[in-house]
Structure 1
């Protein structure tokens, strides 16, 4: 039996809709998903009890999808079954994104639960390769995408971000802890004539079971407001939420969306 641990946003609902059988929907307290009613809601302080409940219901595998902020932990709420996990929780709260996610995986795997990725349980979650829009990228755009991919690889090695904006080989902005939308908004008053690409892809050695880069309809107006010519994502590594709407919005607003084959 599969349990979907759903974070915020629309990814959990889109993922669940692609499954032939409804999974057990679970979410952290205060971080419930959009358009999807959880069967179980648990505080982080009851993680041990939550895992015991999953086992009692016959759950053998889990998938984590959606955004999850790091909640504040109230020591007075920690129950007896969670006490043994406190050192792991503390380490996760003090780690970077990759370290925190690895810690989360280790907790579930240590009790015999198989952690599955979104694309394992729903292979069509990734878009096909190629240009998905009416407007196509220029040669300069493709060169900027190559440069951006190299920048993201370098940033990813330091566990910094999964996106950047590049024009003429120069980084205009890089993603930080505040995310892609904030990065794009920082370009809304750029002093030049515009142009360049938004690139998004995974970090080197990123665990795609729990942290898949994502764009959605809300990304498109932010890209336009940033003065960029289009979006480039890595094939088989970036989810496009509400894909038809994203493509339609790109066409309407005059930007391209390219799903790029991995460079050799």
Structure 2
């Protein structure tokens, strides 16, 4: 089912990856009309086939975004898909974005995205949770693959969890790469895939990747996301285990992702965050 002329309209700000396409499909299946503002430097051109109306804009064209949403009657909007952080330093912002960035105390993700949300709100457009209509993409605790994490990997998950939460809370990154309770790599501005490649190279393979949400994660943006591409990078890097935060990680194309992981001998586990409260060893550490 797709939304007809009288259906409620949602504005979709589409970044990189498969998530914007899957999210648009989900919205339309629920009866919404989707007006998409796609970022030229990031969005998949195929987004056109997944939305009702489309406009393209450059990263930094905040004024154009707001004008397009107003003209389309958008009162509620979502962000889906990532923006490569290095692009922030190559922006050609319009006047509205220049003023917003001048007021920002720093260029952290939460600072800039929160400022964009406030600017949209002042224009009468409410930015809502990017996972509100994507519950099927948020699996609960458990092992997704045929293989459970082994004892060494379980220990690395427990060791890496607190570290990953710490860097996420400082808006540095969401992922760490661990081998035998030693840190091989910490994600920063380069993103998860490059951190995995670096950690796998330094560790000589056999590494565990731990990816978490920020403490107090604002679910309107930057929700942890993995998919087939993640597994392909892990296989290339010789990584053997992926630990994710249950209920707070978007898992795209889950069947294909699990099949690729099984073929590569990679274990994928969704960890219950409550099992790690207080620095415990987690619910899956063997006795």
Distance 1:9 1:35 in 2: 11
1:129-172 per-residue CA deviation (whole Å, 9 max, x = no partner) reads 20011001123322321221101122123221100111222212
Query: Residues 92 and 101 of structure 1 are in contact (CA less than 8 Å); yes or no, is this contact kept in structure 2?
Result: no
Query: Could you say what secondary structure the match of 2:156 adopts?
Result: helix
1:28/1:233 Cα in 2 relative to 1: closer, same or farther (>3 Å)?
A: same
Distance 1:163 1:44 in 2: 25
Moved more, 130-139 or 32-41: 32-41
1:187/1:152 Cα in 2 relative to 1: closer, same or farther (>3 Å)?
A: closer
Distance 2:101 2:171 in 1: 19
Structure 2 residue 171 is the aligned partner of structure 1 residue 163? no
TM-score of the pair, normalised by structure 1: 0.88
Distance 1:10 1:221 in 2: 15
Distance 2:161 2:198 in 1: 20
1:136/1:47 Cα in 2 relative to 1: closer, same or farther (>3 Å)?
A: same
1:196/1:42 Cα in 2 relative to 1: closer, same or farther (>3 Å)?
A: closer
Distance 1:206 1:175 in 2: 17
In the TM superposition, 1:1-264 aligns within 5 A as 1-19=9-27, 20=30, 21-37=32-48, 39-44=54-59, 46-69=61-84, 70=87, 72-74=90-92, 78=94, 82-83=95-96, 86-91=98-103, 95-190=107-202, 192=204, 194-263=205-274, 264=277
What is the number of residues matched between the two proteins? 257
Distance 2:151 2:103 in 1: 45
TM-score of the pair, normalised by structure 2: 0.81
Give the RMSD, CA atoms, in angstroms: 2.3
Distance 1:166 1:73 in 2: 34
